[in-house]
A = this chain, B = another copy of it.
Amino acid sequence: MSKKLLKNAYVLISADDDVEKMNILIDKDEIEDLIPVEITNKREQGIENVEEFDLSGKLIVPGFINAHTHSVMSYFRGLADDVSIDDWLFKYMFPREDLLESEMAYYGAMVSILEMISNGITTFVDMYMFTDSVAKAAYDLGIRAYISRGLSYDTPEGWKKRLNENIGTYEKYNGLDDRIYIGFGPHAPYTVPIDKLKEVAKLAKKYQTHVQIHLLESTNEKQLYNLIDIENTGLFEVPTISAHCVYADEKDIEVLSRSEVNVAYNPTSNMKLGNGIAPIVKMLEKGINVTFGTDGSASNNSLNLFSEMKIGAILQKYKYGPDKFHVEEILRMAWENGGFALEEKLGRLEPGFKADLVVLDINSLEFFPNDLSKLKSHIVYSVNPKNVYASMAAGKWLYFDGKFLTLKEGEEKIYEQFYNYYKTLENKHNSLNFSSNYNTNDNCR
C-alpha cells in the first residue's frame, strides 16, 4: 500500500494558517490531498489500497527543519560546559575529533538522528567530517538530510583530500531516495582563503548543490574578513546556509539580503559559548530567509527545536522588545523557511509538498488551554519532546507512539555500540595526554 490516510486529527497546514480538522492523504513521499472531515466519505470513495491511521485528539504540523547541526558530536555532549570558545574548540573538541573513526561517526550520527526524530525534527542540515557515515545513518533511519564535508585549508594536499572526500560522498549519496543531498561545507572565511572559497563556489555550481558555512559567529571574526569579499567569491550565487551571523552589522545584513543568503539562527549555542544574540528581527525586516539550527550537542547540548524556538524568541524579545518576533514568524522559520533555503517543498502541509510531518498530542498539560486559537503559541512556548506522538519523513513513519520504526538493529544495540565507542574515544584521548597547545592534524578542518 503506497497510500496513507491520516484521519480525524487537527491540522496546521503552515505557520500562517488556522488549525482545522481534516484528513491528510499521502501518496508515496508526497501529500496528495487535504480532505475536510465533513466530506471525507465522499472524497475517499475513490481511494483504494490505503492504510488508515486514526489520529483523533492529535495535531499534525509540518516536520521541523534543523538547519545547522553536527550530528557526530553527540559523543561530546556535556564535555565542556564552562569554558571559553577557544578552549572549547582547541582543548576539548579538536583533540578528540582527531581520534574519531568512520564507524564511530556512524553511531554518533545515529544517536543524534534518533534524538531529532523523537523531537519532531524530520530534516537536518549537517556539516562535519565522515560525511559517508552521516549520510549512511540518515539514509538508514529515513530522515531527510543535507550533508556537507567541513572544509578548511591547511596545505594544498590536506585541502585536496577533504575536497575529494566531499565529492566522494556527493557521488555516492547525492539524491539518494530523493532524501539525502550532499553539499559543500567551507568551514568559515577565517579558515578558508578567498581563492579556495572561489573554488568551492565553482564546484557547488558544477554539482548544482548547496553550501554550508559558519559566518560571523564570534566577535573576533569581525576583524578577520569583510562579507563583501566573501560575496565576491561567488559563494552566495548558489543556495547557501550561513550559520550564526551573530555579528552581522547593518552593512552585512545588506549583503546577506541582496545575495539571498539563508541564515541559520542557533540561539542556544551562541549564548552558551558567550558569543551573543544574532540580530534576527533586523534580518527579517530586510527580507532575509532565516531558519533555526540547534548546532551540535557539544555546544547546545540537545537537539530540540522546541527549546530553540522558545530560547530564540525570548532573546529577540529581550533585544528588540516584547512586542517583536511573533509566533507566526518563529514557526515559519522552523518550517517553510527551511524548505525555501533547501529549495525543496518542505515546511507546509499542502498537496505537492513532501510528506514530512509531526503529530503532537494536544491532550497534554503543556497544551492547556487547548483552544485551537492558542495551539501555535503553545508549540513555540510550552511544548516539549514529551508531547511528540509521531514523526514522518518522505511519507514514512520514523517514530510512532514512543517506538522507532526505521531502526533495523535494536535500540539497545545502537546504544551499546555508542557507549563502547564513547569509552574507546575517551580512553584513547586520556592515554595520549594532549597538551593545551594542541595542533590539529588534517582529519577535520
Interface positions of A (Cβ within 8 A of B): 74-75, 77-79, 81-85, 88, 111, 114-115, 118, 268, 271-274, 276-277, 297, 300-302, 304, 307, 310-311, 313-315, 317-318, 321-327, 363, 365-366, 368-371, 374, 377-378, 380-382, 384-386, 415, 418-419, 422, 426
Contacts and interface: CB of A to CB of B under 8 A. Distances in A.
Nearest to A307: B307
A314 B384 contact: no
B301 A378 contact: yes
A275 to B, nearest CB: 8
Given A81-B380, A369-B422, A386-B386, 19 more contacts: A74-B369, A75-B369, A77-B369, A77-B378, A77-B381, A77-B382, A78-B382, A82-B325, A111-B365, A115-B366, A268-B310, A271-B315, A271-B318, A274-B321, A301-B377, A307-B307, A307-B310, A311-B311, A384-B386
Contacts of A365: 111, 114-115, 118
Nearest to A272: B314
Contacts of A374: 77-79
A251 to B, nearest CB: 24
A426 B118 CA distance: 35
Contacts of A301: 377-378, 381-382
* Listed residue (A111, A370, A380) with the most chain B CB atoms within 10 angstroms of its CB: A370
Question: Which of A118, A317, A318, A322 neighbours the largest number of chain B CB atoms within 10 Å of its CB?
Answer: A322
A321 B84 contact: yes
A311 to B, nearest CB: 6
A88 B382 contact: no
A274 B322 contact: yes
A302 B310 CA distance: 10
Nearest to A425: B369
A307 B308 CA distance: 11
A368 B314 contact: no
A83 B323 contact: yes
Contacts of A317: 271-274
Given A81-B377, A271-B314, A271-B315, A322 B384 contact: no
B322 A85 contact: yes
Contacts of A115: 365-366
Contacts of A415: 363, 368
Contacts of A314: 268, 271-272, 311
A274 B78 CA distance: 30
A310 B313 CA distance: 15
Nearest to A365: B115
A115 B364 CA distance: 9
Contacts of A74: 368-369
A272 B382 CA distance: 13
B368 A77 contact: yes
A74 to B, nearest CB: 6
Contacts of A382: 77-78, 297, 301-302
B419 A384 contact: no
Contacts of A385: 384-386
Nearest to A304: B384
A324 B274 CA distance: 10
Nearest to A83: B323
The 7 closest A-B pairs by CB, nearest first: A78-B377, A271-B314, A274-B322, A78-B374, A386-B386, A301-B381, A115-B365
A409 to B, nearest CB: 15
A304 B386 CA distance: 12
11 contacts: A77-B368, A77-B382, A78-B382, A82-B323, A82-B324, A83-B323, A274-B317, A274-B321, A301-B378, A363-B415, A369-B418
User: Residue among A78, A82, A297, A366 with the most chain B CB within 10 A?
Assistant: A78
B366 A82 contact: no
Contacts of A368: 74, 77, 111, 415, 418-419
B302 A419 contact: no
A384 B302 contact: yes
A318 B277 contact: yes
